[in-house]
Amino acid sequence: MTNLISGKEALIALANGEAVEWRHPERDWFIAPRCNMRTQDFFSGVYQFRLKPKTIKLNGIEVPAPFEPRVGGTYWCFSTQTILGYSHNVYVSEQDDRRFMNMGVWRTEDEIKQVVAALRQVFGGVVKALGEVS
């Protein structure tokens, strides 16, 4: 699981007004301020923490928000070169990657899948293997 933060980082983020989520491994995420967690729970090693993922709306459909990749980091983007409608790259620089990043980039394949599915829903069809829209 990527994007996990430590209990200490979670407490600092909460103190700074950021939305933090917690969970037992392999269970659903819960918003930390809306629970009965004690300070020691953040250091117990039992829970996982992350910053609540940011989202945007595409024509009323909530999807993960794009992000700014770091040099050497993998990102997922739209691609007209694949049947899936998306692909991934390793970020080199704005100069080298701008053609892939012009519509935004996402951290994970799961995130880009959600965005592509939402766009297909907005346009009223599913793109088939030969590029046809039904």
Is the pLDDT confidence value at 97 over 90? yes
In this predicted structure, what is the pLDDT of residue 2? 61
Domain that holds residue 30: 4-52
Same domain, 88 and 37: no
Is the pLDDT confidence value at 13 over 70? yes
pTM over 0.95: no
125: confidence class by pLDDT, cuts 50, 70, 90: low
Residue 133 lies in a domain: no
C-alpha to C-alpha distance for 52 and 96, rounded to whole angstroms:
30
Same domain, 10 and 31: yes
Is the pLDDT confidence value at 130 over 60? no
Same domain, 62 and 96: yes
Mean pLDDT of the chain: 85
Structure tokens, 19:
């939305």
| Encoded amino acid at 1, one letter | M
Residue 28 lies in a domain: yes
Q: How many domains does the chain have?
A: 2
Buried b (16+ CB within 10 A) or exposed e, 8-41: ebbbebbeeeeebbbeeeeeeeeebeeeebeeeb
Tokens 């992000």 map to which residue?
A: 67
The model's pLDDT over 28-87, given as tens digits with 9 standing for 90+, comes to 888 876 667 788 888 998 899 998 888 888 888 889 999 899 999 999 999 989 989 999
Same domain, 27 and 72: no
Residue 132 lies in a domain: no
Is the pLDDT confidence value at 134 over 60? no
Task: Classify residue 78 as exposed, middle or buried by CB count within 10 Å of its CB (0-12, 13-18, 19+).
Answer: buried
Average pLDDT of the segment spanning 107-127: 84
Same domain, 64 and 93: yes
Residue 134 lies in a domain: no
Higher-confidence residue of 124 and 71: namely 71
